[in-house]
Chain A
């Protein structure tokens, strides 16, 4: 079993913060399929469309029949560890700093053998299940886990490098007023977050769940208005150096598209919060987080955006809101590229209509705050990049993958959505 992680000691502010280093990020285009699978926590390998041979390492033509029709497919992750080693000297600084590092060869039941990272609870010749994780370079890597869950297995030091587990980490939830804030705070507290800052704008204005929020373990309500650059900068000055996970749940939502709104007032508000809010937060908190990506057991780990799944394809009833989320999604990709230099992950949680006042007239299913919070915590524990929460979001991403243009037409005609 894995030794449980101890609460990290208080940081000595006089000590230098270790500069984040990374495993080698270069990959062939084919190999990027692993990152795509890892982003969603799937176990996928290339499979030949003609002869069915499962391939590894990723390649451009089938090693059995030379077909170039290789599709990334969900396959069985079961296998056996047939060789292992502990690397004690490495030419790469990242691994050198973290040595000894365990590596093994797993023979997959579906055919190929693969060199992979190995969890400490796996013994020689053990059956294992492989997962694909994102490493600190944001690239997909194979990780061999014990077939069955073992005590504290998430605390394995190599495992924790690949995930963003909230345990002993300090979190900022950006919008206390959002109806999902109490559920998010509770779920993160339950997951072991040691300190949960919750940003509150316009403190003089009451909102119904403030008491519940304040009573949640480890929660500290702090002033924050994501539409106010000075407010964001001020809070970053106070807690930016101890924000390990930032959950950006700030959102401005109103129904309506273009012509049924006579002006751009709401559209401006949507952009102020949903797009510029993220940008202000990123400019204020991003540099410190990126610099703290290797800062011990409670290093900066993840940036979470809660986005509408209609960022992918516009929903006319919430047309302008969808557009602001599309902008936010694009900005999050930019942020992902900038934060990865510090090994900090950007996780987008895509949700369909949520159970709140602005989605009141929409039919079910709608995403409840608790479900959203669970998806955030599970995604962090798994180290995901893209999470689709609820049936509507899952259905939409399926349709989007099948054909974005077809989906666009379906979205225009509500009758076509069923």
Chain B
């Protein structure tokens, strides 16, 4: 039995920032992260020197880490973290930064994820992603994450009767949401028929099941509620959060993520139930992972994901607004920023600042993260429940 965890009272997330994505960029990760930091400071009305906590995530920063960034970008933080957790980076950054602020180790923590995308950077990253990937997955067809998720999707479909139409419904709804997001890389509508007819990539995965690697950055600040209020910054309360790594290692193939281990604590700490979540931002590198999150985050039973998708409208105005900015599937996957995009959008939603993608009356949001296909499955998972001042 775990000890009861302290809440995040008095700490908020604010200033959600997106540096508009580009398909390819000649710039570096340093450049993208600098732009995000600059935007954070400007929108918060503070000088960069007032940022005394810094947390960075990036796949394309090599040979630098957050340490090198401090000198490169002229920061002198008294609290520094580097989180190489891919799609779980945003949630984990939020958790750690919140505790740092709560404990007084830092006043304002800038949490930033940014990556560039050169023409060849995706291939380079894949071939040296992890030791297990190098030894035991990349030599098998070198399909990268497409092939790994194709295996999970194939197994999930056989196990639970999900169809390509079910996955298509998720992608089509997100595209509809993306059309309202001026920053989304995908600008054209997507029909279910177009989804089904798309070029096969790694069966059963086809083109529109895959994210588009792009360059971009996402960021937010974690600070004391009093400071945010004094500065007049819209802010989101952190009601609860979880993270888990290498959950269920004995499952022969991934059918659930670490959320399933910690979901009771997530809702318990926040004091809310699934039906009180007004808007959900899942990690959507592939639609099968979205479906698993609907299950593992408590919105339906394991195996009922396909049924859940059939029964709900996942668009902004639907009965279950999901990935309201289009998610990575339609807005693009900016490397580690893919682990931030949902959380940043969730902060916007509960602070009523989402603009064209705003869900009316959204008070409470959940964002989840998932990352690092070290070998055959995603190892890192996390989730957070946020709410606005009026919740």
Q: Are A105 and B151 in contact (CB under 8 A)?
A: yes
Whether, in the assembled complex, B372 has its beta carbon less than 8 Å from a beta carbon of chain A, the answer is no
Q: B376, A115: Cβ atoms under 8 Å?
A: yes
CB distance from B248 to the nearest CB of A (A): 12
* B142 close to A86 (CB less than 8 A): no
* A149 interface contact, C-beta 8 A: no
Which residues of the partner chain B approach A28 to less than 8 Å between Cβ atoms? 131, 134-135
Q: Are B136 and A95 in contact (CB under 8 A)?
A: no
Q: Say whether A84 faces chain B, with CB atoms less than 8 Å apart.
A: yes
Q: Is A88 an interface residue (CB 8 A)?
A: yes
Given A24-B127, A113-B376, A141-B140, residue A89 in contact with residue B146 (CB < 8 A): yes
Residue-by-residue, is B128-164 near A (CB-CB < 8 Å gives 1, otherwise 0)?
1001101111111111101110111011001000000
CB contacts under 8 Å to A, within B219-269, are: 249, 252-253
State the Cβ distance, A259 to closest chain B Cβ, in Å: 50
Contact of B155 (CB < 8 Å), options: A83, A103, A139: A83
The yes or no answer to A49 lying at the interface (CB within 8 A) is no
Which listed residue, A27, A90, A107, A142, touches B142 by the CB 8 Å rule? A90
Distance of A83 Cα from B140 Cα, bound (Å): 14
Is there a chain A Cβ closer than 8 Å to B205's Cβ? yes
Q: Nearest Cβ distance between residue B43 and chain A, in whole angstroms?
A: 38
Q: Is A85's CB under 8 angstroms from B140's CB?
A: no
Decide: A139 and B204 in contact? CB cutoff 8 A.
no
- A340 smallest CB distance to B (angstroms): 14
What's the minimum C-beta distance from A158 to chain B, rounded to whole angstroms? 10
Q: Pick the contact of B141 from A27, A30, A87, A125 — CB < 8 Å?
A: A87
Chain A residue nearest to B205 (CB atoms) is A85
A107-129 at interface with B (beta carbon < 8 Å): 107, 113-117, 124-125
Which one, B134, B143, B252, B253, contacts A24 given CB within 8 A? Answer: B134
Q: Is the CB of A83 within 8 A of B123?
A: no
Chain B residues with Cβ under 8 A from A26's Cβ? 127-128, 134
- State whether A114 touches B136 (Cβ < 8 A): yes
Q: Is the CB of B139 within 8 A of A24?
A: yes
**CB contact between A89 and one of B152, B202, B253, B375 (< 8 Å): that residue:** B202
Contacts of A84 in B (CB 8 A): 151, 154
Contacts of A365 in B (CB 8 A): none
Query: Is residue B201 within 8 Å, beta carbon to beta carbon, of the partner chain?
Result: yes
Check if A171 is an interface residue, CB within 8 A of chain B.
no
Complex Cα spacing A88 to B132, Å: 22
Contacting A103 at CB < 8 Å: which of B135, B151, B249?
B151
A90, B131: Cα distance in complex, Å = 19
Taking the nearest CB of chain A, how far is it from the CB of B149, in angstroms? 9
Please give the number of chain B residues whose Cβ is less than 8 angstroms from any Cβ of chain A in the complex. 39
Which residues B87-143 have CB closer than 8 A to chain A? 122-123, 126-128, 131-132, 134-143
**A23 interface hit (Cβ, 8 Å):** yes
Number of interface residues of A (CB under 8 A): 42
Given A103-B143, A141-B139, is A85 in contact with B134 using a C-beta cutoff of 8 Å?
no
Say which residue of A87, A105, A117, A141 sits within 8 Å of B143 (CB atoms).
A87
Within 8 A of B (CB), among A313-369: none
- Cα–Cα distance between A92 and B151 once the two chains are bound (Å): 19
Which residues on the A side are within 8 Å of B127 (C-beta)? 24, 26, 91-92
- Do residues A57 and B132 form an inter-chain contact, with CB atoms below 8 A? yes
Flag if B200 contacts A88 (CB, 8 Å).
Answer: yes
B203 at interface, CB cutoff 8 A: yes
Decide yes or no whether A146 CB sits under 8 A from chain B.
Answer: no
Interface check A56, CB cutoff 8 A: yes
Q: Which chain B residues lie closer than 8 Å to A57 at the CB level?
A: 132, 135-136, 375
Chain B contacts for A31, CB-based, 8 A: 135-136
Q: Please name all residues of chain A whose beta carbon is closer than 8 Å to the beta carbon of B122 when the two chains form the complex.
A: 91
Total number of residue pairs linking A and B with CB closer than 8 Å: 121
Contacts of B151 in A (CB 8 A): 83-85, 103-105, 115
Which chain B residues (299-319) contact chain A, with CB distance < 8 Å? none
**In the complex, are the beta carbons of B203 and A115 less than 8 A apart?**
no
Closest residue on chain A to residue B149 by CB atoms: A85
Binary contact track A59-91/B, C-beta < 8 Å → 1, others 0: 000010000000000000000001111111111
**Which chain A residues border B252 with CB–CB below 8 Å?**
82, 105, 107, 113
A135 part of interface (Cβ distance < 8 Å): yes
The answer, among B144, B204, B253, for a CB contact under 8 Å with A105, is B253
| Inter-subunit contact A113/B142 (CB<8 Å) | no
CA distance in complex: A116, B132 (Å): 13
B137 touches A115 (CB 8 A): yes
Q: How far is the CB of B285 from chain A (nearest CB, A)?
A: 16
Residue of A nearest to B157 (CB): A83
**Quick check: is A379 within 8 A (CB to CB) of the other chain?**
no
A115 CA / B154 CA spacing, docked (Å): 14
Q: How far is the CB of A393 from chain B (nearest CB, A)?
A: 31
The interface bits of chain B over 159-190 (1 if a CB of A lies within 8 angstroms of the residue's CB, else 0) are: 00000000000000000000000000000000
A88 touches B203 (CB 8 A): yes
How many angstroms from the CA of A105 to the CA of B127 in the assembled complex?
Answer: 20
A56 touches B202 (CB 8 A): no
Partner of A27 from B126, B135, B155, B204 at Cβ < 8 Å: B135
Report the Cα distance A2→B267, complex, angstroms: 54
A24 to B143 Cα, complex, angstroms: 12
A58 at the interface (CB under 8 A from B): yes
Q: What residues on B are CB-neighbors of A117 within 8 Å?
A: 140-141
Q: Answer whether residue A303 sits at the interface, using C-beta atoms and an 8 A cutoff.
A: no
Chain B nearest CB: distance from A357 CB in Å?
47
A101 is an interface residue with CB less than 8 A from chain B = yes
Q: Can you name the residue of chain A whose Cβ is closest to the Cβ of B138? A: A24
A102 to B140, CA, bound (A): 9
Which residues of the other chain, A, contact B126 by a CB distance below 8 angstroms? Answer: 91
Contact A85 B376 (CB under 8 A): no
In this complex, the member of B128, B136, B375 whose beta carbon has the largest number of chain A beta carbons within 10 angstroms is: B136
Contacts of B155 on A, CB cut-off 8 Å?
82-83, 105
Q: Name the distance in Å between A341's Cβ and chain B's nearest Cβ.
A: 17
Chain B residues with Cβ under 8 A from A88's Cβ?
Answer: 199-203
Structural contact, A101 and B141, CB atoms closer than 8 A: yes
Q: Which residues of A contact B202 (CB under 8 A)?
A: 85-89
Which residue of the partner chain, among A83, A87, A113, A135, contacts B154 with CB atoms under 8 Å? A83
Select which of B140, B200, B204 is within 8 A of A115 by beta carbon: B140
Q: How far is the CB of B372 from chain A (nearest CB, A)?
A: 15
| B127 closest partner in A (C-beta) | A24
The 9 closest A-B pairs by CB, nearest first: A92-B142, A85-B150, A57-B136, A87-B141, A87-B143, A31-B135, A83-B155, A91-B123, A83-B151
| New A-B contacts (20) at CB < 8 Å, excluding given A26-B128, A27-B135, A57-B375 | A24-B138, A26-B127, A58-B135, A58-B136, A82-B252, A83-B154, A83-B158, A86-B200, A87-B202, A89-B143, A90-B142, A92-B142, A101-B143, A103-B143, A105-B151, A105-B253, A113-B252, A115-B140, A115-B375, A117-B141
Chosen A-B contacts, 9 in total, with CB atoms closer than 8 Å, are A83-B158, A85-B154, A87-B141, A87-B146, A90-B143, A92-B127, A95-B143, A105-B253, A115-B140
